[in-house]
Structure 1
Amino acid sequence: MSKRFPLAVFCAVALLSGCQRKLAPTAAPPVSTKAPETVKATNVEFRYLKAKGKVNIDVPGLQQAANLNVRIRKDSVIWLSASLGIEGFRAYITRDSVKVLFPLQRQYYVGDYAYLSQLLNVPVTFERVQALLLGDYLPASPPNVQPTVSTEGDQQRVQYEQQGILVQQLIDLPKKRVQQLNVQEQATQNTLNIEYTDFQPLEPRNQLFGHTTTLKTTQKGAPATVVVTYRNVDLDKERLSFPFSVPKGYARKK
């Protein structure tokens, strides 16, 4: 299991997070007398989520499939583990820290989002990682940015631009869930396209959840694809633990 797998995921999150860059002060836009259309997406509500599935990675220099385990305490902890018989990496992500084990290399990384943001040249946040994994709707940030919302049949299109980042979300109205997320950085032509499919109801409240996530990115002209297919997703069936410790003898990755 290559160390490039978690980095590929963070690259996608990084481009997704690009829409959070601070805007330069501008004149206030003219006040519209027309009431804006309401975004009709719903996000998954839970306290604990546990999911198991497969991940297929196709990035430059790496084509690999692995078992994937995900655990989330909403708005608090994200725990990821991928393995091919032997665990290849384990990540423990909170609002202020990122910790990753690489057992095969006997290495670990511990740090905050500042390092990842510097490495990827755009802000990376806990909220963006969580939204990407859940397929949740991403509102504009800061909240005073007014998106363009339009309805075409059973699909709602939400679009906004912030400092050269164009964000478009397509919402399946019957499901009230994000079906597709497209992000493009105009200056670099870096793109991120995420599609959520195979929606199934989850107990106990029959909330719809996309069991297949197809993520495609292009960074510096290099394409990458990550496909996650879940076979089991459980909400609030048990209080989850998030085991993470650095074994003796592991070297810290700089």
Structure 2
Amino acid sequence: MIDANAVAKEISAKKVAKKHIAANFDNKTIDAKLKVNFNNGKTKQSLTVNMKIIKDEVIWLKGSKFITVFKAKITPTSVSYYSPVFKNYFEGDFSMIEDLLGVEINFEQLQNLFLGQSLLNVKENKQEVKIENNRYILFPEKQAELFDIFFTINPSHFKLDKQSIVNVSKGLRLDVTYPSYNLIEKVVFPSEINIKAKNEKSITDINLSYKSVFFDTDVKMSFNVPNGYKRLEF
């Protein structure tokens, strides 16, 4: 149940963090279809993306535009990608995704990004809270040395409306906004995600909208890099 009229009442930061963690996604698999618009100033692309997730194990993506444009397989330790269009591939660590988003990111954080959960563990550090525009703004009592982090939490379901990671000295900023959620099989799940990654050289906009979402199905994930493709370096 999503109560659109919920009011952000005065409660402790600890309680807000606890409720956000309690709202975490608990199903085992996701099989989703998304519409993705990508724009980094140089490349503007609109794709249909099939996304399959086995929670905490693997994220599989296939981007299509009439034909398969790319496939990617991401595990906690590796990122693999290939493109039949450009005849290239990548196998390695998260440097490719970090290059795309402009900030360091690991598997759990990427998974959380798709689910409307905080990129950082709100239980790990002592948090503070303030209320703005009927939303809870949760942030570490002691901000990290390099980054300032803010989580905007919706009082109706305690998932995120927005999360921001800012590094002023390096001119980096990552904003992930969740304009709306749907109730799917009693699970509160994002229906849209807008990602804005900014560094000193460029701004990348990635807008995702979920077209269909199924949980706990038998997901199949084929991934084989064809012979003769050129290796990408990051």
Q: TM-score, normalised by structure 1?
A: 0.77
Tell me if structure 2 keeps the 8 A contact 1:88–1:103: yes
1:194/1:113 Cα in 2 relative to 1: closer, same or farther (>3 Å)?
closer
Identity among equivalent positions (%) equals: 25
Tell me if structure 2 keeps the 8 A contact 1:37–1:150: no
Q: Which residue of 1 aligns with 2:178?
A: 196
Cα distance in 2 for residues equivalent to 1:121 and 1:181: 15
Higher alpha-carbon deviation: 46-55 or 131-140: 131-140
Q: Which residue of 1 aligns with 2:44?
A: 63
Aligned pair count? 216
Q: Which residue of 2 aligns with 1:46?
A: 27
Unaligned 5+ segments in structure 1 are 1-34
Cα distance in 2 for residues equivalent to 1:44 and 1:158: 19
Residue type of the partner of 1:230? Y
Cα distance in 1 for residues equivalent to 2:50 and 2:205: 19
Aligned pair partner of 1:93 in 65, 68, 74:
74
CA apart distance, 1:215: 0.9
Query: SS state of the match for residue 130, structure 1?
Result: helix
The question of 1:184 aligning with 2:166 is answered: yes
Query: SS state of the match for residue 132, structure 1?
Result: helix
Q: Which residue of 2 aligns with 1:209?
A: 189
1:194/1:241 Cα in 2 relative to 1: closer, same or farther (>3 Å)?
same
Q: Which residue of 2 aligns with 1:135?
A: 116
Tell me if structure 2 keeps the 8 A contact 1:97–1:113: yes
CA apart distance, 1:124: 2.9
Q: Which residue of 2 aligns with 1:219?
A: 199
1:9-158 pair list within 5 angstroms: 37-38=14-15, 39=17, 40-41=19-20, 42-113=23-94, 123-140=104-121, 143=124, 145-152=125-132, 154-158=134-138
1:180/1:80 Cα in 2 relative to 1: closer, same or farther (>3 Å)?
same
Query: SS state of the match for residue 14, structure 2?
Result: coil
Tell me if structure 2 keeps the 8 A contact 1:43–1:136: yes
CA apart distance, 1:149: 2.1
Cα distance in 1 for residues equivalent to 2:100 and 2:84: 22
Tell me if structure 2 keeps the 8 A contact 1:52–1:230: yes
Query: SS state of the match for residue 209, structure 1?
Result: strand
Unaligned 5+ segments in structure 2 are 1-11
Residue type of the partner of 1:228? L
Q: TM-score, normalised by structure 2?
A: 0.84
